[in-house]
């Protein structure tokens, strides 16, 4: 099931354009697999992917879940115009969110309303305004890990770090 979700979320381990370099998306992919394996409730699954970083005291996993918002194609191709790439990325987030979470295409509503469609241009640009606030440069510098970046530890690395921290931690005071 996770494979189908990752396909719909346009997740890939490459930039997807021009040089098609490797990029660090494994943490988001692993989060999706774990979410399906844990049978995470769909409302939580949705909230964490769309706004996990906006939750009060978000965990590293909730921040990683927002990788959904960064699965779009990236580039630093010569001649790319940063503002044009930024707009394309925001449109991609809106269209993908509509497709995977609502099950409807929002692409048409970018340009016009339809008499009998439930979604309008106002709906499209309301979502656009939300996704337009995501930080990070539109051009990726052909880096595998363009900002913003979260250092993510694997389970074994977390255990080692925890053991080392306990071993080197100052004694608790008895006050």
Tell me: the pLDDT tens digits for 41-69? 999 999 999 999 999 999 999 999 999 98
pLDDT of residue 166: 64
158: its two tokens: 């977390």
Q: Which residue has the tokens 């305004």?
A: 129
* Predicted model pTM: 0.81
Phi, psi at 67, each rounded to 5°? -55, -25
What SS3 class is residue 22? strand
Torsion angles phi and psi, residue 159, rounded to 5: -65, -45
Domain locations in the chain as residue ranges? 2-168
In angstroms, rounded to a whole number, what is the distance separating the alpha carbons of residues 150 and 31?
14
Q: Would you say residue 173 has pLDDT above 70?
A: no
Average predicted confidence (pLDDT) for the chain: 86
**Predicted local distance difference test score (pLDDT) of residue 171:** 59
CB 23 within 8 A of CB 13: yes
Q: Is the pLDDT of residue 32 over 90?
A: yes
Give the pLDDT of residue 139.
80
Q: End-to-end distance of the chain based on CA atoms, in angstroms?
A: 52
Distance of alpha carbon 147 from alpha carbon 113, whole angstroms: 36
How much is the pLDDT for 56? 96
Q: Please choose, from the candidates 75, 69, 76, 113, the residue with its C-alpha nearest in 3D space to the C-alpha of residue 91.
A: 69
Give 81-121 pLDDT, tens digit per residue.
Answer: 989 989 999 999 999 999 999 888 888 888 898 888 888 99
Tokens for 65? 């879940």
pLDDT single digits (tens) 121-171: 999 999 999 999 877 788 887 777 777 778 888 778 888 887 776 666 565
Answer whether residue 175 shows pLDDT above 70.
Answer: no
- Our CA angle for 86, 128, 89, nearest 5°, is 25
């Amino acid at each position: 099931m996770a494979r189908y979700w990752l396909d719909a979320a346009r997740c890939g381990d490459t930039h997807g354009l021009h040089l098609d370099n490797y990029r660090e998306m494994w943490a988001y992919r692993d989060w999706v697999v774990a979410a399906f394996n844990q049978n995470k409730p769909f409302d939580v699954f949705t909230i964490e992917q769309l706004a996990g970083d906006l939750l009060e005291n978000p965990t590293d996993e909730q921040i990683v879940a927002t990788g959904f918002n960064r699965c779009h194609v990236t580039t630093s191709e010569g001649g790319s115009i940063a503002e044009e790439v930024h707009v394309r990325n925001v449109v991609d987030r809106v269209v993908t969110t509509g497709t995977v979470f609502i099950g409807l295409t929002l692409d048409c509503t970018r340009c016009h309303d339809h008499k009998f469609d439930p979604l309008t241009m106002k709906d499209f640009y309301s979502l656009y305004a939300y996704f337009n606030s995501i930080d990070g440069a539109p051009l990726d510098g052909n880096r595998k890990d363009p900002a913003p970046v979260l250092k993510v530890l694997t389970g074994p690395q977390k255990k080692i770090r925890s053991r080392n921290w306990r071993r080197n931690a100052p004694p608790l005071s008895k006050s």
